[in-house]
């Protein structure tokens, strides 16, 4: 709580809480240089007890109405953000969930609809549950134009998966199917701090991910969301610190470099990252969008989403209006997560100088050993990344947990105050 208070007050110059307010149909200002796209597929075969994301248990009855609503939302938004008769450039396209592969036969249709309005110049990625990966899925994904995949392995160790509340899986064929394809990036998600996980278990998981052909390994600290159903709780601070240093050592000996606070990548491999865009447009229930002036979230209910999109209303439920300063703070926060603050990107987005706007804090961060000054920006040091690892967890507990829980309890909350 102290961390988020301090960030809001001292860096954001904001006395009161950040507030989400109900604003059905709202769209931010997308007059921005770069725009990423995201599509949420909110269905899963089984609901993992640790998972905080908005999803419901698979019911094929939903596919048709969901597809129709998604197409309606994309068309409605495109009408506002794409010039008539033209296509707008997008820097990337990600499909997440939920488990997008459950709608594998619909993904190419959605992709085509997006291509009617946008030219996706960067990579196109999709999140996959390892159980859903078959040769057929891999081929269909490639044919639909996806060139990146992210697989939620969590752990290769059956006992640790069980501690997370997930069934053991046979991973033997999973990666063969993918390695046959032409994916430019294969991201493997691991969780660390799982109850019972030793440093050696984590090292083994990392090495297995390398062996499986990962070009990127995302390592998330196990977070116990207030509304999750975790029977066993994450390991404490001291254990996490040791596990983090195991990750750094194992990544280094495997030839992987840190590409953000929680990701490691092979040199020159494209990065898989759906959240670290400066501005993005999200489609589907619970999808968020970030514009120049505000942040918005769609309703966290498939039923409310379908009903609203069918009435030709953008299914936004919540809007957070930024001040100029808090928008810059938001940029600073996510770029710290990426590990690098680019002065050029900042200037392009805000027409203002990073070194002027945050002069005191950057110099203080340098003195404290959190940043190194580079030619065109500021890079987080290892100590900076370590500190940010805790700040990010605090932000998740204080802001994301509260927002998502409230939005899952009520499709149209009046207000959410974040302190």
Ligand X SMILES: C[S@@+](CC[C@H](N)C(=O)[O-])C[C@H]1O[C@@H](n2cnc3c(N)ncnc32)[C@H](O)[C@@H]1O
Which residues are at the interface with ligand X (CB under 6 A)? 50-53, 96-97, 99, 127, 129, 152, 154, 189, 191, 220, 222-223, 225
Judged by CB under 6 A, the number of residues near ligand SF4 is: 11
> What is the contact mask toward ligand SF4 in residues 133 to 172, using x (rule: CB under 6 A)?
-------------------x--------------------
Residue 243's binding partner, choosing from ligand SF4, ligand X, none, with beta-carbon cut-off 5 to 8 A by kind? none
Q: Which residues are within 8 A (CB) of 255 and not within 5 positions of it... i.e. 6 or more apart?
A: 266, 267
**The CA-based dihedral angle spanning residues 56, 62, 65, 70, taken in that order and rounded to the nearest 10 degrees:** 40
Residue 96's binding partner, choosing from ligand X, ligand SF4, none, with beta-carbon cut-off 5 to 8 A by kind? ligand X
User: CA-to-CA distance for 175 and 208, rounded, in angstroms?
Assistant: 11
Closest approach of ligand X to the CB of residue 31, in Å: 30
> Locate tokens 């997560």: which residue?
337
Residue 368 in tokens: 């404290």
The reply to whether 100 sits near ligand SF4 by the rule CB under 6 A is: no
- The partner residues of 374 in beta bridges, in order of sequence, read 377
Closest approach of ligand SF4 to the CB of residue 260, in Å: 20
Residue 223's binding partner, choosing from ligand X, ligand SF4, none, with beta-carbon cut-off 5 to 8 A by kind? ligand X
Strand order in the sheet with 371-374: 340-342, 377-380, 371-374
Among 28, 36, 98, 221, binds ligand SF4 (CB under 6 A): 98
Closest approach of ligand X to the CB of residue 343, in Å: 31
The reply to whether 40 sits near ligand SF4 by the rule CB under 6 A is: no
Sign of CA dihedral 204, 205, 211, 216: negative
Residue 193's binding partner, choosing from ligand SF4, ligand X, none, with beta-carbon cut-off 5 to 8 A by kind? none
How many C-alpha atoms does 171 have within 13 Å on its Cβ side?
21
CA 22 to centroid of chain Cα atoms: 23
User: CA-to-CA distance for 236 and 238, rounded, in angstroms?
Assistant: 6
Residue 189's binding partner, choosing from ligand X, ligand SF4, none, with beta-carbon cut-off 5 to 8 A by kind? ligand X
Residue 47's binding partner, choosing from ligand X, ligand SF4, none, with beta-carbon cut-off 5 to 8 A by kind? ligand SF4
Q: Which is nearer to ligand SF4, 285 or 365 (CB)?
A: 285
User: CA-to-CA distance for 324 and 297, rounded, in angstroms?
Assistant: 20
Q: Which is nearer to ligand SF4, 53 or 256 (CB)?
A: 53
User: CA-to-CA distance for 289 and 279, rounded, in angstroms?
Assistant: 7
- Give the CA angle between residues 354, 356, 361 to the nearest 5°: 80
Among 27, 51, 120, 153, binds ligand SF4 (CB under 6 A): 51
Taking CB positions, which residue lies at the least distance from ligand X? 152
The reply to whether 94 sits near ligand SF4 by the rule CB under 6 A is: no
Which one of the spans 91-99, 193-201, 247-255, 391-399 is the region binding ligand SF4 (CB under 6 A)?
91-99
Q: Which residues are within 8 A (CB) of 250 and not within 5 positions of it... i.e. 6 or more apart?
A: 202, 203, 206, 207
Among 8, 40, 111, 129, binds ligand SF4 (CB under 6 A): 129
Closest approach of ligand X to the CB of residue 131, in Å: 9
User: CA-to-CA distance for 78 and 66, rounded, in angstroms?
Assistant: 18
Residue 245 in tokens: 């240093």
Closest approach of ligand X to the CB of residue 402, in Å: 15
Residue 191's binding partner, choosing from ligand X, ligand SF4, none, with beta-carbon cut-off 5 to 8 A by kind? ligand X
Q: Which is nearer to ligand X, 114 or 191 (CB)?
A: 191
- Within 10 angstroms of residue 62's Cβ, the number of other Cβ atoms is 17
The reply to whether 130 sits near ligand SF4 by the rule CB under 6 A is: no
Q: Which residues are within 8 A (CB) of 207 and not within 5 positions of it... i.e. 6 or more apart?
A: 250, 254
Closest approach of ligand X to the CB of residue 180, in Å: 20
Q: Which is nearer to ligand SF4, 7 or 149 (CB)?
A: 149
Q: How many residues does the chain have?
A: 419
How many C-alpha atoms does 194 have within 13 Å on its Cβ side?
26
Longest dimension (CA), the chain: 58
- Within 10 angstroms of residue 16's Cβ, the number of other Cβ atoms is 8
Residue 266's binding partner, choosing from ligand SF4, ligand X, none, with beta-carbon cut-off 5 to 8 A by kind? none
Residue 7's binding partner, choosing from ligand X, ligand SF4, none, with beta-carbon cut-off 5 to 8 A by kind? none
Measured distance between the N- and C-terminal CA atoms of the chain, rounded to whole angstroms:
8
Instruction: List contacts with ligand SF4 (CB under 6 A).
Output: 44, 47-48, 51, 53, 55, 97-99, 129, 152
């Amino acid at each position: 709580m102290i961390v988020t208070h301090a960030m809001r007050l001292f860096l954001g110059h904001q006395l009161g809480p950040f507030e989400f307010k109900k604003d059905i149909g709202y769209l931010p200002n997308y007059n921005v240089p770069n725009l990423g796209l995201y599509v949420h597929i909110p269905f899963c075969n089984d609901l993992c007890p640790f998972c905080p994301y908005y999803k419901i248990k698979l019911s094929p009855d939903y596919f048709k109405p969901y597809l129709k609503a998604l197409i309606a939302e994309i068309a409605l938004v495109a009408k506002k953000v794409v010039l008539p008769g033209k296509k707008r450039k997008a820097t990337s396209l990600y499909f997440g969930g939920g488990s997008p592969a459950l709608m594998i036969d619909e993904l190419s249709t959605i992709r085509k609809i997006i291509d009617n309005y946008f030219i996706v110049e960067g990579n196109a990625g999709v999140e996959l549950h390892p159980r859903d990966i078959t040769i057929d899925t891999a081929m269909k994904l490639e044919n639909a134009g996806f060139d990146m995949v992210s697989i939620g392995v969590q752990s290769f160790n059956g006992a640790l998966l069980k501690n997370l509340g997930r069934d053991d899986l046979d991973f033997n064929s999973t990666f063969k199917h993918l390695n046959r394809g032409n994916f430019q990036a294969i991201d493997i998600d691991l969780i660390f701090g799982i109850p019972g996980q030793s440093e050696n278990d984590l090292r083994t998981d990392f090495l297995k991910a390398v062996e499986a052909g990962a070009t990127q390994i995302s390592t998330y600290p196990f977070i116990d969301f207030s509304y999750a159903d975790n029977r066993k709780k994450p390991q404490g601070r001291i254990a996490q610190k040791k596990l983090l240093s195991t990750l750094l050592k194992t990544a280094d000996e495997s030839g992987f470099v840190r590409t953000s606070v929680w990701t490691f990548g092979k040199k020159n491999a494209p990065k898989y990252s759906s959240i670290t865009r400066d501005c993005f447009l999200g489609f589907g229930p619970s999808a968020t969008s970030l514009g120049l002036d505000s942040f918005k979230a769609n309703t966290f209910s498939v039923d409310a989403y379908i009903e609203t999109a069918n009435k030709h209303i953008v299914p936004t439920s919540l809007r957070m209006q930024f001040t100029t300063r808090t928008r810059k703070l938001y940029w600073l926060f996510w770029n710290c997560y990426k590990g690098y603050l680019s002065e050029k990107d900042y200037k392009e987005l805000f027409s203002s100088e990073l070194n002027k706007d945050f002069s005191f804090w950057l110099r203080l961060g340098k003195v404290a050993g959190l940043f190194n000054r580079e030619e065109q920006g500021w890079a987080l040091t290892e100590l900076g990344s370590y500190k940010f690892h805790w700040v990010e967890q605090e932000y998740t507990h204080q802001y994301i947990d509260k927002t998502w829980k409230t939005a899952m309890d009520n499709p149209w909350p009046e207000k959410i105050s974040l302190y």
